[in-house]
Amino acid sequence: MRSRYSTVREGEGIALILLSAENLSKHYGDFVAVEDVNLDIKEGEIFGLLGPNGAGKTTTINMLIGLARITAGSVTIAGTRYTDLVGAAQGLMGVVPDESNLYDELTGFENLCFCGSLYGMRKGQRELRARQLLEIFDLAKVGDKPFRTYSKGMKRKLTIAAGIIHSPKILFLDEPTTGIDVASAREIRRLITALNEQGTTVFLTTHYIEEAERLCHRIAFIVSGKIVQVGATGDLLRQGRRDHVVQFTLDRDLQGVRGDLETAFPEFTITDGGDGIVRMASQNPIDLIPVMEWLKDQGLKVWEAKLIQPSLEDVFVRVTGIELAKMNKEKEGRGGKR
């Protein structure tokens, strides 16, 4: 057992490691869902686990919070190594699953108070905290209404409020804005940022690249149960900006000529964003003329060709080989999660 926090040098200072996962693995029979995941979450940061559905995000978060038994590896939280007893650290954690776990028949206030009781909060303490959270999350006017009457965005906010009623050291959010409208998603992101600014460490999973870029201080890319890259968001963006990227707007999708385009220009990383949007990235300057002539020969009309500033999406595509179009399809119709 570790008796104190681990530390890591950060610039001219020292950062405390609030959570550490070492060689974390999860097997279901012969199927390997997560393999040798190593992560250090620094106190006070927003850390994002980014990947498509089925990549191992939910399995990873479930092992970290004690909902899934760890096949191999260990978890250290606030200086104590829990190994197979992660559940013993639940008082240090706030957990917001991707689907609400609150009770439809209870009011918002009653749900919060019930969650507070699960963490051993006294009656007066949890009622006061519940009232405060209803105000903070702009839910005071519906606090006495049944949870089943809430909109999706309101349900998401109350679920987050329930996850922090006991003022945890670290808040786990699994796909925090999936399935809610744009305005509600924007408000949820604002609340996450505000919670972090007040001192809460946040670990979130997402398959929204723009969400990870907007919220997270550091990001890990996970694909097929393996972490393929971890870095500060700014560092990842700077890494991408070493590339040259051209975006073409075509009169139609690449359809059957995508493979031929990759064969004709093997030095480029090609991203098909759908709706006739194609990006080509290279570490060297891109000569547009040969590409445009090739597209013309294939019967594709180029409406626009422009140089663009590489984004986190470009870095993700280059590192993982997974395109935004695939991620978008998963947003629209989420099948089985892992």
Average pLDDT of the segment spanning 294-298: 93
% of the chain with per-residue pLDDT over 90: 62
What average pLDDT does the structure give for the chain?
88
What's the pLDDT at 4? 60
Average pLDDT of the segment spanning 3-22: 75
pTM above 0.85, yes or no: no
Given a cut of 90, is residue 124 above it in pLDDT?
A: yes
Given a cut of 60, is residue 2 above it in pLDDT?
A: no
What's the pLDDT at 11? 60
- Could you give the residue ranges of the DSSP H alpha helices within the chain? 57-65, 108-118, 123-136, 152-163, 182-197, 209-215, 233-240, 258-264, 288-297, 312-320, 324-332
Given a cut of 70, is residue 328 above it in pLDDT?
A: no
